[in-house]
Amino acid sequence: MTDITLSDQTQNLVQELRRGVIILAVLSQLHEEQYGYSLMKRLEEQGMQIDQGTLYPLLRRLEDQNLLQSDWRVDTSRPRRYYVLSEVGKKVLTEMTTEWSRIKNTVDNLLINP
């Protein structure tokens, strides 16, 4: 992130803004199975940085809400917990994507026409 020059106040507000979209970002990358660390790397590569300390609890909460399912895998170099979208999760992601486009358009328009 290039927010080194942002003021503290702005940083807090940006954090809040990001918090709202993190779930969408996480769900979007879980069509294929990922374990926490690989998911974090994947998000990071695409410019979405997320703390591992935030990511793992979030994954568990999403699993509790039946949006994800998970499994321990022991066939890799060390045991890892893999997460993937559940059927409910896929449906929710589709709906959230539509909603996101709508919000994005609306806000873009608002910003263009102050």
Binding stretches for another protein (CB under 8 A) = 35-37, 51-54, 56-57, 60, 72, 78-81
Nearer to another protein, 46 or 54 (CB): 54
Q: Give the helix ranges, DSSP H, for 1-114.
A: 8-28, 36-45, 52-64, 87-112
Nearer to another protein, 76 or 113 (CB): 76
From residue 69, give the alpha-carbon distance in Å to each of 34, 41, 62, 76: 11, 20, 9, 19
Q: Shortest distance, CB of residue 98 to another protein, whole angstroms?
A: 20
Nearer to another protein, 37 or 101 (CB): 37
- Measure the CA–CA gap between 77 and 47, rounded to whole angstroms: 28
Q: Shortest distance, CB of residue 83 to another protein, whole angstroms?
A: 10
